[in-house]
Amino acid sequence: MSLQNKRIVVTGGAGFIGSNIARALCDENEVTVIDNMSTGRRENLRGLEGRIRFVEGDINDIKMLRREFQSVDYVLHQAALPSVQRSMIDPMMTNRSNTDGTLAVLVAARDCGVRRVVFASSSAVYGDSPELPKRESSAPRPMSPYAVTKLVGEHYCRVFCEIYGLECVSLRYFNVFGPGQDPASEYAAVIPKFIDAVLSGSQPVVYGDGEQTRDFVYVEDVVRANILACLSPGAPGLAINIGTGYATSLNRLLATISKILNRDVRAIYTEPRPGDVRDSVADITLAREVLGYVPKYRLEDGLREMLKCRSE
């Protein structure tokens, strides 16, 4: 399944996931990227000049959204302040970007007759529930303001689908990794931080004992899930896990990175961070049944692709 000859808006399209989506879709579709560049990076859009329209703007500017959503088929809503830790420090800013911004996107999409909105949610909505793997039927228990905003966004999507007839799909991303992640950010994801530490010969920092687990999903699989979510007739109104179904401890992750790079690495272990979940792995049964989604990348495959892109 593919998207062709469609008008598509990617909010947050200068960010890590958004830029990968824009890059995948721009050759066969008319793609507009909207980003206020608060966390997006110009280098993520390198090579897309002339292949996309870029609008520097904030998703809370509903007049701008209504202008840019005219005659649009799909809105892939990736824009957000994505950090759990940042949300602990500044919950009001996270709420403004993630909750108010998502509501503005949905209102503008409804008003402009957009065919479907695909919303980037998060596995963080599950919190530290002991049930593994995480199933969409599990009761959410968010542990951070960031997770709360994603759960609220899901509810808004469902309500707009049921009340206004705006087709909305929420994708609960697990731990996405791949080219375009910023290792220099204070709130960078663990994989780019580990890779940078190993390459520089420094000791990576592990919060906790390193036995906490995550479901690491390569960004190309997430891009494909977004395309499938646009096209699947059974997806509107649902929240769907996007992961691999495999749990990897941080110690195993670091060992895998060290093996690929042929480096001997010893981590520094420190106290767990507030809001961090102990264990997380996706049940992807619903994604497989509704979207036809099957991940193509194993963790080691994705890491090798990521490192290859860094060396080019």
CA distance 5 to 65: 21
Helices (H), 113-249: 145-164, 190-200, 219-231
Residue 280 tokens read as 């997380």
Are 149 and 160 within 8 A, CB to CB? no
- How far apart (Å, rounded) are the C-alpha atoms in residues 36 and 57? 5
- Is residue 208 within 8 A of residue 268, CB to CB? The reply is no
**CA gap 33, 221 in Å, rounded:** 20
Catalytic residue among 146, 156, 173, 297: 146
Q: Judge whether 164 counts as a catalytic residue.
A: no
Dihedral sign for Cα 266, 310, 46, 223, please: negative
Strands 248-249 and 213-214: antiparallel
Task: With CA atoms as reference, report the closest residue to 68 among 57, 81, 79, 82.
Answer: 57
Cβ 161 vs Cβ 115: under 8 Å: no
Beta bridge partners of 122: 173
Query: What whole-number distance in Å separates Cα of residue 143 and Cα of residue 140?
Result: 10
Strands 7-11 and 239-242: unpaired
CA distance 266 to 262: 13
Active site residues: 146
